[in-house]
Amino acid sequence: MGAAETGTEAAGEPESGKPKPSKKKQPTAEKEPAARKSSLSAEQQAEVDRWFQLADQYIGQGRYRDALYALDQVLAIDPKNGRAKQEKEKVTEIMRRRGEIP
């Protein structure tokens, strides 16, 4: 019955087993970039969100210079914002392909 108990415990322990919760802590470490957002005040985060919405709108309209401006505003508030950096690179590449910038 020891083997059967071990099998039962293994089936019943994922919720209470010690090794499983430690694995759950690892994904929390992946959420650390989200913790950067919490370093912003609620007002700053709302402003960042508004600038991102505006940048997305400008990109959809083909207004790439305006989109770059909006993304620069995000980076002025949150200089480490990876999303803004990536979006800015994408917009810059689009503008290069279109011959709008050298």
CA-nearest of 47, 90, 87, 82 to 71 is 87
Q: What domains, with CATH codes, occur in the chain?
A: 11-97 (1.25.40)
Query: What are the backbone dihedrals phi and psi of residue 18, each rounded to the nearest 5 degrees, phi first?
Result: -70, -40
Q: pLDDT at residue 27 above 70? A: no
pLDDT in tens, 45-85: 999 999 999 999 999 999 999 999 999 999 999 999 999 99
Length of the chain: 102
